[in-house]
Amino acid sequence: MKKFTKSYFFGFFFVIFSLWIRLFDVEPLGPEGSRIGFASLNVSVHDFFGMHLFWYKLTQVLGYIAILLAAVFAVLGFIQLIKRKSLLKVDKNLLLLGLVYILLMLLYVLFEKIPFNYRPVILDPAEGLEPSYPSTHTLLILTVFGTAIQFAGSYIKNPKLLLTVKILSLTIMALTIVGRLVCGVHWFTDIVGGVLLSLFLISLYKDLILFTKKEQ
């Protein structure tokens, strides 16, 4: 169980951080008087950056790319399943990736419904207030590309190609964090929560890979 130390840490810290948001400096400073945790910090950061639609649209595109990449991995696993005629014969790394994706989808849907904090702006008057914690865009993109780096390390033997994949993935992850912060549709703590939860899933995937290798 020592191999799961990192995933335990990020998971535990995310839970504690989420509780802090519900308890610390909670003030009605959001749209329509909605209450937000870490109010002073969040409002200060949001006022500093303002709102930038370019970054909002860019991160939307990066989100679509992440979904496309996840779909590619899903198709790859399905092809192996058809050819090998057994789920147990599908590459372990692909199966574990599928499990992490299922957990990602469950968390994505869950936090789209739970209003820890509401967005600092109302994007659609018809929708009204929308839950914003954690940033599910950040969660999606960082998890998909973070696990892709781990996956690529097991299959790409060309060092230069592997380095290119890592740099590209890390660049997209960095752009996502910066973009979701400065675009103005999230509070600062939304981004932190998204990063922590994605680090939990990325670490969990890595730990599961190491655990299954030990069991073989």
Domain ranges of the chain: 54-208
More confident residue, 198 or 214: 198
Using CB atoms within 10 Å of the CB of residue 206, give its burial: 0 to 12 exposed, 13 to 18 middle, 19+ buried: buried
% of the chain surpassing 90 pLDDT:
65
pTM of the model: 0.91
Q: Judge whether residue 99 has pLDDT over 70.
A: yes
pLDDT of residue 215: 55
**Residues 2-6, mean pLDDT to the nearest whole number:** 67
Q: Do 37 and 21 contact (CB within 8 A), yes or no?
A: yes
SS3 state at 127: coil
Using CB atoms within 10 Å of the CB of residue 181, give its burial: 0 to 12 exposed, 13 to 18 middle, 19+ buried: buried
| 187 φ, ψ (degrees, to nearest 5) | -80, 160
% of the chain surpassing 70 pLDDT:
97
pLDDT of residue 10: 92
| 179 φ, ψ (degrees, to nearest 5) | -65, -45
pLDDT of residue 167: 96
Q: Do 70 and 143 contact (CB within 8 A), yes or no?
A: no
pLDDT of residue 122: 84
Q: Among candidates 43, 10, 9, 12, which has minimal Cα distance to 25?
A: 43
pLDDT of residue 4: 64
Place of tokens 């904090």: 117
Alpha-carbon distance of 113 to 132, in angstroms, equals 9
pLDDT of residue 91: 85
Q: Judge whether residue 59 has pLDDT over 70.
A: yes
**Banded pLDDT at 43 (limits 50, 70, 90):** very high
Cis upstream peptide for 134 (omega within 30°) = yes
Q: Judge whether residue 179 has pLDDT over 60.
A: yes
| Residue-averaged pLDDT of the chain | 90
157 alpha carbon, distance to own chain's centre: 27
More confident residue, 94 or 191: 191
**Banded pLDDT at 216 (limits 50, 70, 90):** low
**Banded pLDDT at 212 (limits 50, 70, 90):** confident
**Residues 46-61, mean pLDDT to the nearest whole number:** 93
**Banded pLDDT at 102 (limits 50, 70, 90):** very high
Q: Do 26 and 42 contact (CB within 8 A), yes or no?
A: no
Q: Do 4 and 207 contact (CB within 8 A), yes or no?
A: yes
